[in-house]
């Protein structure tokens, strides 16, 4: 049986932290769906189509990765894609508390396990929120996004 996981997030934008988690997760699972959550009440910096294109461009040569979108419960989308795992990254103790609660609930209602990976120490300061803030003020963010990903 293939081990398939979803990696959910807004990915606004996809950072080198996200890229690292996908790379490391491929050591644990056979396929990953990078699942862009759509929340119409949340204002994003990049439109959904742009985020899809940015991420797909990184993985055009890797058939183990697909990119999808969803506007439902994460576990429902996981089931829809045939995924039996959810991948989450943790940067801090605060992240741990939140992710543990969600993982416990997801397992309880669906049986889907969450794989938690700790962010590499040199990447813990990077978040999409901070990258968006830098972009808003016209700063170069190339060191925080994967090589080969264009924000244009």
For 15, 25, 58, the CA distances from 141, given in Å and listed in that order, are 10, 25, 17
42 a catalytic residue? yes
Tokens of residue 47, six digits: 């439109």
Active-site entry in 18, 51, 83, 88 = 18
CB 5 within 8 A of CB 84: yes
Residue 48: count other Cβ atoms within 10 Å of its Cβ.
Answer: 14
Active-site entry in 50, 64, 91, 100 = 91
18 a catalytic residue? yes
Closest C-alpha to 8, from 123, 102, 130: 102
Residues serving a catalytic function are 18, 42, 91, 128
């Amino acid at each position: 049986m293939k081990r398939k996981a979803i990696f959910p997030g807004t990915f606004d934008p996809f950072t080198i932290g996200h890229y690292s988690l996908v790379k490391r997760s491929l050591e644990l699972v056979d396929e990953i769906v990078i699942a862009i959550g759509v929340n119409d009440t949340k204002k994003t910096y990049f439109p959904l189509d742009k985020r899809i294109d940015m991420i797909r461009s990184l993985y055009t040569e890797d058939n183990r990765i697909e990119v999808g979108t969803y506007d439902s419960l994460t576990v429902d989308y996981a089931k829809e894609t045939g995924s039996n795992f959810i991948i989450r990254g943790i940067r801090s103790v605060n992240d741990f508390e939140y992710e543990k609660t969600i993982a416990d609930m997801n397992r309880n209602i669906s049986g889907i396990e969450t794989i938690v990976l700790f962010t590499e120490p040199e990447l813990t300061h990077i978040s999409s929120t901070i990258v968006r803030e830098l972009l808003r003020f016209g700063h170069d963010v190339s060191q925080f996004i994967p090589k080969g990903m264009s924000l244009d």
